[in-house]
């Protein structure tokens, strides 16, 4: 089904210039018809001769030419319209043919691809012995395959059946036939499977394959739908003989075919749009041409009418012939001229009269006549030859003549041939030049080394050259039609739009670099220049500069690498100008000069940082380098920040292209540490000689190289005896071979060993030494020496043994201490478990021991403890343990108990020995003991818990009256744990932010002025709501809470004070502080740090309130703390004054600024004279000691009136305000006004 796909091209003469000539001919009277024109002239001449007697000018030449032109004009346009329509139809047909060919080509490609997949699958399956699958409804056993091993079972019991490739392909093709466009089928003239029997067209194809055909394809139509049918032969291969040898096939035989039927509908739909576009474009083209012809026809009709109305047609036609630029001649059958016009005669250099009657051969010459004679003969037999001929005039250049010969008849008789010649030399030369130019352009386009692309007005690629194809790794077909903008990188699209706008206005684009993408995904850089052509298209030239850009990028990266190397080099790299000023320096150099930036040092003389004593040498080196030498110098510098360093610099000259020295390159390294190392080496040599430890150096083989004096004295050998020997001479035999194997394994793998060993001196004595051996490595990591450092630790080991005894025993009584007790308890507990016995843990505390210490001194107390230890050790069994924990506390472990009677008997024995009198140097005394007892495993299985339980039971014994024992009470333990849980809950409340501070105002009752507020703790309990301290006072009394709670209260109060200060509300705040918190050794430092963290709070805005009853616990320390806090600016108030037992001496010693009368006295002073007297006494006492006094508990205006009368005008209480959140205090302050009876008289 081959088709002619060759395109049509116009003849050489069909150029725009040629078409212009045709239009010009038309305007002069239509098509050139020399026969008609000359014949009419002759006819009218005949009429003129016949009628000359009547009228000389019967018909003018113009009239004759009009008669000629009329039929030409009348018939030319219908013919032209028909030809135009036929050309458009032919173009449409050609376009349809091309589209149709594309449909068929795509269908053939799809069919081949589908068949190729089947063939490849068959070959793969055959080469692998077939495809085994589990038999099911979709893949039943092949009933047409009967070979050994068709049905098998795997080792795990799975049944499999062999599917021949053909059968499996048919199964798959049948199942998926409707799912894919192409439907394949396998067929054979001798099929194993009847389903593979060929259809009629398949049988025809198989027949052609047997005749040697390699492929069969055809297009058929069914129910107005087209289908491509294609088949390729199946050639028998060796792997096919497994199933088909029985049919007689041999390798190479054609035993069937694989066919594919492809519906054309999908491809036709794909090309429908293109066909519609083709019809639309040709319709517009045909309509445009037809309109043009109609307009031309109407115009020429008007011209014809005008000519008819002119002077006479004969004269006009005659003039046309005479004045025609074309050469016209009538040649008779004898080849002689009958008629010639002036143009013809002029071409041959003569006159018409001279040519008429002459033979053509004579005028044209033999050569020219030989060229035209065949055409004359052709015209005489009815032909219409149209040809070109070259005629060289004498003495002139060749002329190209366009010739048309037509047969001329008169009354049906052949008269001769009319020859119409036109000189087209210039046209021919122009066409030839154009052809040459086009050929050169196409040759240049094809061979141009740079890429050239032509785009249409929409920016789509219309033409490319091979260089463009190579540049973008794509074929011409792939590029044609693409939007050129899709090849540009997204980053360049905006610039491309700007350049296109410039192209529209200026007609060209200046050269620019762009990043573009190849169709295979590669990226390239090009230089682009474009110009706008006259027809609206754009011509672009692209030069690939990817290598240059890569080189530039490589240079940039190399520069970055070099700069990075220079800037990160640990050595100083600097460039110095010839005058000694610094031009550039890297970061290491800045660090050496102690400069923070380049600006500090660039342009400054380098010699300025050189130490004065080295400047002369430094300048001398610089001068030598400027003369072309290079040099090295070690010198000292003084950094910009005063630091001193030793440097070593290597300087070389740097020259320009002319060889002139323009600068000096200096590489400088810091050798400060190196010089220190030299000093260290000298010190090391001194240390080696004078070290207190023995030092031994050997080579890798163990031969002794050197020893120091201490090693000589340590071993007893002289230096001469040791050097050259082997350390084996020190072996004592007390370490086995494994000891030395382990030592060498560590030395070879870890390059070091440390441990203790027992060696023998020269005199045979054994000593213990602490030995550390290290390997010395060279630069390649090889061992060059071993260095051993030995210390004589014989006495240390003896002392260590004594220390171990002290570590596990009490120094005074030599009883096991707490550490050894823990080990003994573990052993005793394990023994009790094995024997199912009880272990009794007794915690003993002596009663009345402190008075003995206080009365007779510590020596007597120590003697009593020693005696007690001896008595306890004597009243227990050897397996039992008596331990002293410290002070007068002992723990006794009694094992092997099976009943409480045994326990009580042992305890009575202990009490009996302790209750005997003690005879001390100071006198005789009797003491008793309190015992707490717990039983393992009844009371717990943890050693620490057992001791803790026994301790609790001992306290219970003391509370019971002392000199007795008590067993551990679990209920009491649970109460202790409950208290612990409450403390933990309070800690959690602090962490969760449940605690708050409320503030109760303190005022001056006379003026109503707010003088401060007391911070009071509240607990916003998640379940019980807001709680006052009375609900959790038991927790607050816990010593563990004193410090964290006090810190929290102080920090919160200070933050609130800072917030109020920012709001412009300046007041003082007092905070209650516990004695435990106040007695912390770092209390003042912590308070000072808190105040420093709140800079907006003045220290004098904070007052600490301490309880009178707690202030006497440690009067000296508390007084010192108060004075230190007052030095910071913090003031103190003595809270609840009158409830404690402090004396006036304590009051005088406590440097507090304020006394606060307890609310219990103030509340009852209106009704209780004694309370009123106490209040009056406190006010008088405060006045006497110069202290400020304030009353709390003022609940009614009457309380305030009485206090004012007694001389106390500062107060707080419910009559003033209840404690409130901090946010409410500013509003309260603005609204507060004291009762009228409190106001001072004006």
| pLDDT per residue as tens digits for the range 168-177 | 656 555 554 4
Let me know whether 790 and 840 are in one domain: no
706: in domain: yes
pTM for the model: 0.34
Do the beta carbons of residue 452 and residue 539 sit within 8 Å? Answer: yes
- Cα-Cα-Cα-Cα dihedral sign, residues 569, 572, 573, 574: positive
Let me know whether 869 and 925 are in one domain: yes
Instruction: Give per-residue pLDDT as tens, 130-172.
Output: 666 677 655 667 666 656 666 767 666 666 676 666 666 565 5
Let me know whether 156 and 224 are in one domain: yes
Per-residue pLDDT for 57 more than 90? no
Per-residue pLDDT for 1187 more than 70? yes
* Better-predicted residue by pLDDT, 18 or 151: 151
Per-residue pLDDT for 916 more than 60? yes
Do the beta carbons of residue 1159 and residue 1213 sit within 8 Å? Answer: yes
Weakest mean pLDDT among 56-60, 156-160, 321-325, 1015-1019:
56-60
Do the beta carbons of residue 574 and residue 606 sit within 8 Å? Answer: yes
Instruction: Give per-residue pLDDT as tens, 990-1004.
Output: 889 999 999 999 999
Q: Which residue has the tokens 């003569």?
A: 350
pLDDT score, position 127: 66
Q: SS in 3 state form for 1133-1152?
A: EEEEECCCCCCHHHHHHCCC
Residue 835 backbone zone (phi > 0: left; psi -120 to 50: alpha; other: beta): alpha
Let me know whether 992 and 1141 are in one domain: yes
Please, which pLDDT band fits residue 25 given cuts at 50, 70 and 90? very low
Please, which pLDDT band fits residue 2 given cuts at 50, 70 and 90? very low
pLDDT score, position 1080: 86
pLDDT score, position 1: 40
621: in domain: yes
Rg of the chain's alpha carbons, rounded to an integer? 64
106: in domain: no
Do the beta carbons of residue 93 and residue 3 sit within 8 Å? Answer: no
Per-residue pLDDT for 47 more than 60? no
Residue 864 tokens read as 């009593």
Helices 858-874 + 900-914 axis angle, to 10: 140
pLDDT score, position 1189: 94
Which of 503, 525, 551 lies at the terminal end of a domain, its last residue? Answer: 551
Which of 622, 646, 675 lies at the terminal end of a domain, its last residue? Answer: 675
Instruction: Tell me the C-alpha distance between 875 and 871, whole Å.
Output: 6
Let me know whether 815 and 961 are in one domain: yes
Please, which pLDDT band fits residue 320 given cuts at 50, 70 and 90? low
Instruction: Tell me the C-alpha distance between 479 and 881, whole Å.
Output: 102
Per-residue pLDDT for 418 more than 80? yes
Residue range 302-326: mean pLDDT, rounded: 66
Share of the chain above pLDDT 90, in %: 34
What does the buried/exposed string (b/e) look like for 729-748 if buried means 16 or more CB atoms within 10 Å of the residue's CB? ebeeeebeeeeeeebeebbe
Q: How many CB atoms lie within 10 A of CB 791?
A: 18
Which of 212, 231, 265 lies at the terminal end of a domain, its last residue? Answer: 265
Instruction: Tell me the C-alpha distance between 458 and 200, whole Å.
Output: 52
Q: Which domain holds residue 590?
A: 569-675
Determine whether 826 is exposed, middle or buried from the number of CB atoms within 10 Å of its CB (0-12, 13-18, 19+).
exposed
Per-residue pLDDT for 1221 more than 90? yes
Q: Which residue has the tokens 């194993």?
A: 192
CATH code where residue 865 lies: 3.30.70.270
pLDDT score, position 611: 93
* Better-predicted residue by pLDDT, 156 or 812: 812
Instruction: Give per-residue pLDDT as tens, 1093-1144.
Output: 999 999 999 999 987 655 555 677 888 899 999 999 999 998 877 665 454 6
Residue range 23-35: mean pLDDT, rounded: 42
Instruction: Tell me the C-alpha distance between 1027 and 237, whole Å.
Output: 100
Weakest mean pLDDT among 445-454, 589-598, 860-869:
445-454
Residue range 68-75: mean pLDDT, rounded: 56
Residue range 945-965: mean pLDDT, rounded: 90
Let me know whether 473 and 598 are in one domain: no
Let me know whether 830 and 910 are in one domain: yes
Q: Is 605 helix (H, G, I), strand (E, B) or coil?
A: strand
Between the alpha carbon of residue 1082 and those of residues 187, 444, 958, 1085, the distances in Å are: 105, 97, 35, 5
Per-residue pLDDT for 1005 more than 50? yes
pLDDT score, position 9: 34
Residue range 487-515: mean pLDDT, rounded: 84
Instruction: Tell me the C-alpha distance between 949 and 839, whole Å.
Output: 14
* Better-predicted residue by pLDDT, 56 or 786: 786
Residue 1096 tokens read as 């907006």
Do the beta carbons of residue 866 and residue 801 sit within 8 Å? Answer: no
Count structural domains, the chain: 6
Instruction: Give per-residue pLDDT as tens, 177-219.
Output: 444 456 778 888 777 777 788 888 888 888 888 888 888 888 8
CATH code where residue 614 lies: 3.30.450.20
pLDDT score, position 290: 82
Instruction: Give per-residue pLDDT as tens, 232-268.
Output: 998 887 777 767 777 778 888 888 888 888 888 777 7
Instruction: Tell me the C-alpha distance between 190 and 195, whole Å.
Output: 11
Per-residue pLDDT for 781 more than 80? yes
pLDDT score, position 649: 92
CATH code where residue 142 lies: 3.30.450
55: in domain: no
Let me know whether 1127 and 999 are in one domain: yes
Paired residues of 653 in beta bridges: 664
Instruction: Give per-residue pLDDT as tens, 741-768.
Output: 999 999 899 999 999 999 999 999 999 9
Residue range 1023-1037: mean pLDDT, rounded: 81
Per-residue pLDDT for 61 more than 60? no
Let me know whether 1035 and 1179 are in one domain: yes
354: in domain: no
Per-residue pLDDT for 534 more than 60? yes
Instruction: Tell me the C-alpha distance between 37 and 380, whole Å.
Output: 18
Q: Which residue has the tokens 């005629």?
A: 391
Let me know whether 1090 and 1212 are in one domain: yes
**Peptide bond before 84: cis, by omega within 30 degrees of 0?**
no
CATH code where residue 1102 lies: 3.20.20.450
Average pLDDT score, the chain:
82
Residue range 1196-1208: mean pLDDT, rounded: 94
Instruction: Give per-residue pLDDT as tens, 274-298.
Output: 778 878 888 888 888 888 888 887 8
1135: in domain: yes
pLDDT score, position 395: 57
Instruction: Tell me the C-alpha distance between 1152 and 1112, whole Å.
Output: 13
Let me know whether 952 and 1021 are in one domain: no
Instruction: Give per-residue pLDDT as tens, 371-412.
Output: 788 888 888 877 888 888 877 666 566 888 888 888 888 777
97: in domain: no
Alpha-carbon 54 to chain mean position:
113
280: in domain: no
Determine whether 1156 is exposed, middle or buried from the number of CB atoms within 10 Å of its CB (0-12, 13-18, 19+).
buried
Let me know whether 919 and 853 are in one domain: yes
């Amino acid at each position: 089904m081959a088709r002619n796909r060759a395109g049509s091209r116009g003849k050489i003469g069909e150029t725009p210039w040629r078409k212009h000539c045709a239009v010009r001919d038309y305007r002069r009277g239509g098509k050139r018809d020399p026969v008609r024109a000359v014949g009419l002239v002759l006819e009218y001449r005949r009429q003129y001769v016949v009628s000359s007697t009547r009228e000389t000018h019967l018909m003018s030449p113009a009239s004759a030419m009009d008669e000629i032109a009329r039929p030409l004009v009348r018939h030319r346009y219908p013919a032209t319209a028909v030809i135009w329509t036929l050309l458009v139809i032919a173009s449409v047909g050609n376009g349809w043919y091309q589209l149709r060919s594309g449909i068929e080509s795509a269908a053939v490609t799809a069919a081949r691809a589908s068949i190729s997949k089947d063939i490849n699958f068959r070959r793969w399956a055959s080469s692998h012995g077939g495809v085994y699958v589990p038999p099911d409804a979709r893949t039943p056993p092949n009933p047409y395959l009967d070979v050994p091993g068709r049905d098998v079972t795997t080792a795990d019991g799975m049944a499999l059946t062999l599917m021949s490739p053909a059968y499996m392909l048919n199964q798959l093709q049948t199942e998926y036939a409707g799912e894919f466009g192409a439907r394949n089928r396998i067929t054979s003239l001798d099929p194993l499977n009847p389903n593979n029997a060929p259809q009629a067209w398949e049988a025809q194809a198989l027949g052609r394959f047997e005749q040697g055909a390699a492929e069969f394809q055809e297009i058929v139509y069914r129910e107005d739908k087209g289908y491509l049918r294609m088949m390729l032969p199946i050639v028998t291969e060796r792997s096919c003989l497994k199933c088909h040898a029985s049919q007689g096939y041999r390798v190479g035989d054609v035993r069937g075919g694989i066919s594919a039927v492809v519906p054309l509908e999908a491809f036709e739909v794909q090309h429908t749009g293109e066909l519609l576009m083709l019809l639309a474009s040709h319709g517009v083209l045909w309509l445009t041409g037809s309109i043009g012809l109609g307009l031309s026809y109407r115009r020429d009709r008007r011209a014809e009418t005008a000519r008819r109305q002119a002077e006479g047609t004969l004269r006009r036609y005659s003039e046309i012939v005479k004045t025609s630029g074309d050469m016209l001649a009538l040649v008779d059958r004898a080849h002689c001229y009958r008629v010639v016009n002036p143009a013809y005669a002029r071409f041959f250099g003569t006159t018409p009269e001279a040519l008429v009657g002459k033979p053509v051969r004579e005028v044209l010459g033999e050569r020219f006549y030989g060229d035209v004679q065949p055409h004359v003969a052709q015209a005489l037999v009815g032909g219409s030859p149209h040809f070109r001929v070259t005629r060289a005039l004498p003495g002139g250049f060749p002329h190209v003549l366009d010739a048309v010969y037509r047969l001329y008849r008169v009354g049906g008789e052949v008269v001769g041939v009319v020859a119409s010649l036109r000189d087209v030399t210039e046209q021919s030369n122009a066409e030839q030049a154009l052809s040459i130019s086009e050929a050169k352009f196409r040759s240049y386009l094809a061979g141009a080394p740079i890429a050239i692309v032509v785009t249409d007005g929409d920016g789509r690629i219309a033409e490319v050259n091979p260089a463009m194809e190579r540049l973008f790794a794509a074929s011409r077909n792939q590029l044609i039609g693409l939007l050129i903008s899709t090849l540009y990188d997204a980053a360049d699209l905006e610039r491309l739009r700007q350049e296109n706008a410039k192209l529209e206005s200026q007609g060209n684009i200046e050269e620019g670099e762009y990043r573009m993408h190849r169709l295979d995904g590669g990226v390239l850089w090009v230089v682009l220049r474009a110009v706008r052509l006259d027809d609206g298209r754009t011509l672009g030239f692209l030069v690939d500069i990817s290598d240059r850009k890569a080189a530039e990028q490589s240079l940039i990266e190399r520069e970055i690498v070099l700069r990075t190397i220079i800037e990160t080099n640990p050595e100083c790299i600097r460039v110095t100008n010839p005058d000694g000023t610094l031009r550039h320096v890297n970061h290491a150099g800045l660090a050496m000069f102690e400069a923070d930036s380049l600006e500090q040092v660039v342009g400054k003389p380098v010699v300025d940082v050189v130490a004065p004593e080295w400047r002369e040498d430094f300048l001398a080196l610089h001068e030598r380098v400027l003369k072309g030498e290079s040099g090295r110098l070690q010198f000292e510098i003084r950094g910009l920040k005063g630091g001193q360093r030793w440097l070593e610099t290597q300087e070389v000259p740097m020259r320009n292209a002319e060889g002139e020295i323009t600068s000096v390159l200096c590489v400088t390294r810091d050798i400060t540490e190196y010089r220190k190392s030299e000093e260290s080496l000298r010190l090391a040599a001194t240390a080696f000689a004078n070290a207190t430890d023995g030092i031994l150096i050997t080579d890798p083989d163990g031969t002794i190289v050197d020893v120091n004096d201490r090693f000589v004295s340590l071993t007893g050998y002289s230096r001469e005896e040791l050097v050259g020997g082997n350390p084996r001479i020190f072996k004592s035999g007390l370490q086995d071979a494994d000891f030395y194997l382990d030592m060498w394994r560590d030395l070879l793998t870890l390059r070091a060993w440390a441990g203790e060993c027992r060696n023998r001196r020269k005199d045979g004595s054994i000593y213990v030494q602490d030995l550390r051996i290290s390997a010395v490595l060279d630069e390649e990591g090889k061992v060059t020496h071993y260095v051993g450092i030995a210390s004589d630790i014989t006495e240390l080991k003896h002392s260590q043994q004594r220390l171990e005894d002290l570590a596990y025993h009490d120094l005074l009584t030599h009883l096991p201490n707490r550490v050894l007790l823990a080990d003994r308890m573990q052993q005793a507990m394990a023994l009790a478990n094995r024997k199912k016995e009880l272990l009794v843990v007794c915690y003993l505390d002596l009663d009345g021991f402190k008075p003995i210490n206080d009365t007779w001194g510590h020596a007597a107390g120590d003697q009593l403890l020693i005696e007690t230890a001896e008595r306890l050790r004597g009243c227990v069994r050897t397996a039992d343990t008596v331990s002293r924990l410290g002070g007068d506390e002992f723990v006794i472990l009694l094992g092997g108990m099976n009943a409480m009677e045994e326990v009580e008997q042992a305890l009575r024995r202990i009490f009996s020995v302790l209750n005997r009198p003690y005879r001390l140097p100071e006198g005789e005394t009797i003491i008793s003991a309190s015992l707490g007892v717990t039983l393992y495993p009844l009371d717990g299985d943890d050693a620490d818990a057992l001791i803790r339980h026994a301790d609790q039971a001992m306290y219970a014994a003391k509370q019971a009256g002392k000199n007795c024992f008590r067993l551990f009470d679990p209920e009491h333990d649970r109460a202790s744990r409950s208290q612990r849980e409450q403390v933990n809950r309070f800690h959690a409340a602090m962490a969760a932010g449940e605690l708050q501070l409320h503030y109760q105002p303190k005022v001056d009752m006379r003026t109503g002025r707010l003088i401060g507020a007391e911070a009071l703790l509240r607990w916003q309990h998640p379940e019980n709501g807001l709680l006052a301290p009375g609900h959790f006072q038991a927790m607050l009394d816990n010593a563990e809470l004193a410090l964290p709670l006090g810190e929290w209260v102080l920090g919160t109060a200070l933050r609130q004070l800072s917030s109020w200060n920012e709001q412009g509300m300046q007041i003082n705040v007092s905070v209650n502080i516990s004695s435990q918190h106040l007695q912390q050794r770092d209390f003042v430092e912590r308070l000072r740090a808190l105040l420093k963290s709140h800079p907006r709070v003045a220290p004098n805005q904070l007052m600490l309130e301490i309880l009178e009853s707690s202030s006497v616990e440690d009067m000296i320390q508390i007084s010192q703390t108060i004075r230190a806090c007052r030095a910071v600016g913090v003031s103190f108030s003595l809270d609840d004054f009158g409830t404690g037992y402090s004396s006036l001496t304590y009051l005088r010693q406590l440097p507090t600024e304020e006394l606060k009368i307890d609310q219990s006295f103030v509340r009852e002073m209106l009704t209780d004279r004694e309370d009123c007297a106490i209040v009056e006494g406190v006010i008088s006492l405060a006045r006497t000691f110069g202290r400020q006094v304030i009353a709390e508990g003022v609940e009614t205006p009457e309380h305030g009136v009485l206090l004012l009368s007694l001389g106390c005008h500062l107060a707080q209480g419910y009559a003033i305000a209840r404690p409130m959140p901090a946010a409410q205090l500013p509003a309260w302050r603005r609204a507060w006004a004291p009762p009228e009876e409190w106001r001072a008289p004006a």
